[in-house]
């Protein structure tokens, strides 16, 4: 990866807050993000779960979904277990299916999500050539002659 997921998470979260799209959930999100960023162990896990629950409620907010992907990578680095890799892969797949072709998608963010997707896949022992390649991967421009 050619970017820092923790820094990308901070940037995405700031975008979400600046847009005001979380409405009544904004205070809960801010509190949970502060706990997640400042602690470890059970407190951080509970804050992570709160943020993921908010993400399910706000699945249409692109920057918030990016934030959730980035913090899931942080979870992987904190606790390297298959469940985190699987959840990260699911988040990436949903993100790419929903926002990968939209006019508002930022190429840099898409590239970062795709890079993390490959890292999550790698952590699960999946390769690019597995039979379960998603359609948006098959249709992606591969470059070359």
Q: Write the pLDDT tens digit of every residue in 36-81.
A: 999 888 999 999 999 999 999 999 999 999 999 999 999 999 889 9
Q: What percent of the chain has pLDDT over 70?
A: 83
Residue partners of 22: CB distance under 8 A and separation at least 6: 16, 29, 54, 58, 61, 64
Write down the pLDDT at residue 105: 56
What is the pTM (predicted TM-score) of this model? 0.83
**pLDDT exceeds cutoff 70 at 4:** yes
Confidence of residue 128 (pLDDT cuts 50, 70, 90): low
């Amino acid at each position: 990866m050619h970017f820092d997921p923790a820094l990308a998470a901070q940037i995405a979260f700031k975008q979400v807050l600046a847009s005001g799209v979380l409405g009544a959930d904004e205070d809960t999100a801010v509190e949970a993000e502060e706990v997640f960023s400042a602690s470890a162990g059970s407190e951080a896990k509970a804050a992570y779960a709160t943020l993921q629950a908010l993400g399910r409620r706000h699945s249409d907010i692109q920057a918030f979904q990016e934030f959730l992907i980035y913090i899931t990578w942080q979870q992987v680095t904190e606790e390297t277990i298959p469940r985190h890799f699987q959840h990260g892969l699911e988040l990436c797949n949903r993100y790419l299916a929903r926002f990968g072709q939209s006019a508002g998608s930022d190429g840099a963010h898409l590239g970062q999500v795709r890079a993390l997707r490959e890292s999550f896949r790698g952590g699960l022992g999946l390769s690019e050539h597995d039979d379960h390649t998603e359609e948006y991967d098959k249709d992606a421009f591969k470059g070359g002659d």
